[in-house]
Structure 1
Amino acid sequence: MLGRYSEIGAVPLDRILRPGRPLAEALSEVLVEAARSYTADPDMSGCMVLEGLRSNDEAARAAALARRQAAEAVIHAYIADHRREEAGRLTDYISTCMAGLSAAAVAGHDRGRLLASAKLQGLAIERALGD
């Protein structure tokens, strides 16, 4: 199930986090795409990976954790290429924002509300980076 989700529902980090792109712009788009992805299917809102971390099934939980850690590693590496000293802090922030967007989607927030939150989070990133 997670493999299928990675192909069709995951945030396309490889497309968004490309070389030469301004850091704040790229990270903001990650959050906007997360908001879109988490509201794409009304029968399955939120992020399957993040929600999978709450699974009672140990194997499913381990698979979800591995996918989350892999995504965080990609985000961390991208940030480190731009601002090595900020990589840990900003990766944690992006991860926390994505978890919050997923939880809000599961709680019934529609796409408009999630996009508004993601855009506000993007403004916080710009301010934190001074960009």
Structure 2
Amino acid sequence: MSESVRKRKPRRTFDRELGVERAQRIFHEKGYDGVSVADLTAALDINPPSLYAAYGSKAGLFEHTLRRYTAEQSLPASAIFEGRDLGDAIAQLFVSAANQYSQDATCRGCLVTEGARAADPEARNIAEGFSVVMASAISEEIVKRAPDQGAELADVVITMVRGLSAAAFTGVDAERLRATAEKAGVLIKTALTATIAV
């Protein structure tokens, strides 16, 4: 055996899940379009060929991060709606969204919602796919409880939740965001009460 073979260092094992965790944070901090392959390889401490071997592409890695994000940080629609009347559940959903989207000063907003605004079409399509799933979970809970007006009400609620993400992403502070969410909840409950009375 040659001297060079004997001295060759063993190849370092790359932890793909840890890589996804690190990439998730940098994507959330900067947005998909603001992150370069060089940023990712530096954060993951690997070279570009290793990144492509592990995840296929930058967009492939983004898809892994969205899968991780939705598994761990999606708004728990079924838990929020369980045991509450419709107005209270929607109000709680708004507050939960405001709290989640503003809890980390450097990772603001919803990673999926903001990812769906990416300029890169592949990344945008990936994020939109996850966004549809998340929106459907909320819509299903609303339609179950208000079948006659559920679809329209769900559109209002989902638009509000996405608006809270956008507000957080652009820098609205946590206190103001929560106050906005609480006010929106009051307005929804008032509107639902008026509808029932009619």
Q: TM-score scaled to structure 1, two decimals?
A: 0.90
Is 1:13 aligned to 2:88, yes or no? Answer: no
The structure whose RCO (Cα within 8 Å, separation 6+) is larger is 1
Q: Secondary structure at the match of 1:11?
A: coil
Map 1:7-46 → 2, pairs under 5 A: 7-18=71-82, 20-46=83-109
Q: CA deviation at 1:23?
A: 0.6
Among residues 111, 115, 121, which one is paired with 1:58 in the alignment? 121
Q: Secondary structure at the match of 1:85?
A: coil
Q: CA deviation at 1:59?
A: 3.0
Is 1:75 aligned to 2:141, yes or no? Answer: no
Q: CA deviation at 1:4?
A: 2.0
- What is the CA–CA distance in structure 2 between the aligned matches of 1:106 and 1:73, rounded to whole Å? 23
Q: CA deviation at 1:8?
A: 3.1
Q: CA deviation at 1:36?
A: 0.7
Specify the code of the residue in structure 1 equivalent to 2:75: V
Specify the code of the residue in structure 2 equivalent to 1:54: R
Q: CA deviation at 1:84?
A: 0.7
Equivalent position of 1:3 in the other structure: 67
Equivalent position of 2:25 in the other structure: none
8 A Cα contact 2:77 2:141, kept in partner: no
Q: CA deviation at 1:17?
A: 2.3
Which stretches of structure 1, 4 residues or longer, exceed 2 Å deviation after superposition? 7-10, 56-60
8 A Cα contact 2:118 2:124, kept in partner: yes
8 A Cα contact 1:35 1:114, kept in partner: yes
Q: CA deviation at 1:124?
A: 1.3
Give the number of equivalent residue pairs: 130
8 A Cα contact 1:10 1:37, kept in partner: no
- What is the CA–CA distance in structure 1 between the aligned matches of 2:79 and 2:126, rounded to whole Å? 23
Q: Which runs of 5+ in 2 are unaligned?
A: 1-64
1:87-125 C-alpha deviation (Å, 9 max, x unpaired): 111111111111211111112111111110000110111
8 A Cα contact 2:138 2:158, kept in partner: no
- What is the CA–CA distance in structure 2 between the aligned matches of 1:116 and 1:106, rounded to whole Å? 16
Specify the code of the residue in structure 1 equivalent to 2:94: L
Quote the sequence identity (%).
Answer: 35
Map 1:94-105 → 2, pairs under 5 A: 94-105=157-168
